[in-house]
Amino acid sequence: MGKYDITTTETLVHTAADYSEPSKTTDNIDSQDENKWRNKDFHKYYGFYDEIGEYKAAINSFATWVVGQGYTTESARDKVILDHITGWGEDTFLSILWGMIVVKKFGGDSYSLILKDDKTGTLINLKPLDSGKMSHVTNKQGRLIRYDYLMGDGKEKEYKPNRILHFCNDRILDEPHGTATTKAVEWVISALEEARRDYRRVAHRSTVRILYVEEEDTGRRANLKKDYAEAIRNGDVLILPGNAKDYQFQDLNVPPVTAFLAWIGYLENHFYQALGVPKVVLGGTAENTEASAKVGVLVYEPVWMREISEVEADIWNQLGMKIKINKQPSMMDNVQQQESKNNAQTGFQPNDTKVNIEGER
């Protein structure tokens, strides 16, 4: 028999669970006269937004692209009213809009309390509220009939719909609430942070220098370890009694960075694709050519323009005021000008779109 005689066999058992598409039902409940829903995950989503730099920057950038150029009003009266909105004291109407867009994106819904003059009904102020304390109350038909807001004393205060300015993100089907973007990117955010922390830990540990010592006495070895650590901490010289042959230093090497960077790069691309915000609008242009960066901004335009339309409609429907949000400069003209200068290829050529009638016959 050979040196490596194999006389038994084993069957490899596939233990990894197969992936299956998750099923989901909406949160709508229409079995009672009043049905209540509250976003129990809001403060977790807030934590993701507050702690993850890329996520926070992307959401902030989206809101800035939407309202960063300011707004105009159809009437001078509305302008005066909105110019005097102060929120908690240091807000402006524009900063409240910006904040509500941010919160509705990462949390699904955002709210501000509408304060009006009791006699005239004139808008006085808008006060941003904590989305994690707000409940939606709907009737059997699924219509919103009330908001319940959890106060500091543990009691809930009821507000009619016309007392709350409500921005709802990507509501679908019969959901009684908006959809948080955090849920779609939660996995990739966790994986990205895990990969970065893993490599940081490995890289940090590679700075440790190992000292081999021919020493059997555990007490003396402990003292030597203490002296060695103190010398490293103080940047001092460590003097070891004995012969040089009794001591040996070894440095740990940083593992190959290529695999880590490839995995992190993949996760970053996946993150921005899932979020729907191109990395280029955040200044991440190192991997882009000028042309691809312009195209990335151009295809992003319908996203923030849709948000502008929704904000304008919400202000009209809920506050009764016509505002016009100033749009960011479009890249369309610039892209078309650059394309027209490219003699090799300028979009669709005339011959590309003509049908050869004679040939078809």
50 and 191 in a common domain: no
92 and 67 in a common domain: yes
Per-residue b or e along 305-314, where b marks 16 or more CB atoms closer than 10 Å to that residue's CB: bebbebbbeb
174 and 46 in a common domain: yes
Is the residue at 11 inside a domain?
no
176 and 34 in a common domain: yes
Record the tokens describing residue 216, joined without a space.
């059997």
Is the residue at 168 inside a domain?
yes
226 and 169 in a common domain: no
77 and 142 in a common domain: yes
316 and 295 in a common domain: yes
- Rg from Cα positions in the chain: 31
What pLDDT is stored for residue 287 in this prediction?
A: 60
Is the residue at 46 inside a domain?
yes
Structural domains in the chain (count): 2
> Is residue 50 within 8 Å of residue 103, measured between CB atoms?
no
> Is residue 129 within 8 Å of residue 60, measured between CB atoms?
no
pTM above 0.85, yes or no: no
Is the residue at 156 inside a domain?
yes
162 and 73 in a common domain: yes
What pLDDT is stored for residue 39 in this prediction?
A: 96
> Is residue 280 within 8 Å of residue 287, measured between CB atoms?
no
Is the residue at 238 inside a domain?
yes
Per-residue pLDDT in tens (0 to 9) along the chain, 361 residues: 445 454 455 555 555 566 666 777 788 777 788 999 999 999 999 999 999 888 999 999 999 999 999 999 999 999 999 999 999 999 999 999 999 999 999 999 999 999 999 999 999 999 999 999 999 999 988 899 999 999 999 999 999 999 999 999 999 988 899 999 999 899 998 888 888 888 787 777 666 666 777 777 788 778 888 887 887 777 777 777 777 666 776 666 666 778 778 888 888 888 888 888 877 777 655 565 666 666 667 777 888 899 999 999 999 999 999 999 999 887 665 555 555 566 555 554 545 444 444 444 4
Is the residue at 12 inside a domain?
no
What pLDDT is stored for residue 273 in this prediction?
A: 82
Q: Residue 289 sits in which domain range?
A: 27-182+277-342
Distances, alpha carbon 281 to alpha carbons 11, 57, 63, 292, 326, in Å: 52, 10, 12, 12, 18
Distances, alpha carbon 244 to alpha carbons 76, 212, 223, 249, 361, in Å: 87, 11, 19, 11, 95
* Domain final residue, candidates 208, 227, 257: 257
Residue 125 — φ and ψ, nearest 5°? Answer: -160, 165
Who contacts 142 (Cβ-Cβ below 8 Å, separation ≥6)?
Answer: 28, 30, 174, 176
Is the residue at 359 inside a domain?
no
Count the neighbouring beta carbons within 10 Å of the beta carbon of residue 55: 25
110 and 192 in a common domain: no
292 and 253 in a common domain: no
What pLDDT is stored for residue 291 in this prediction?
A: 61
Is the residue at 268 inside a domain?
no
147 and 44 in a common domain: yes
238 and 161 in a common domain: no
Q: Is 268 helix (H, G, I), strand (E, B) or coil?
A: helix
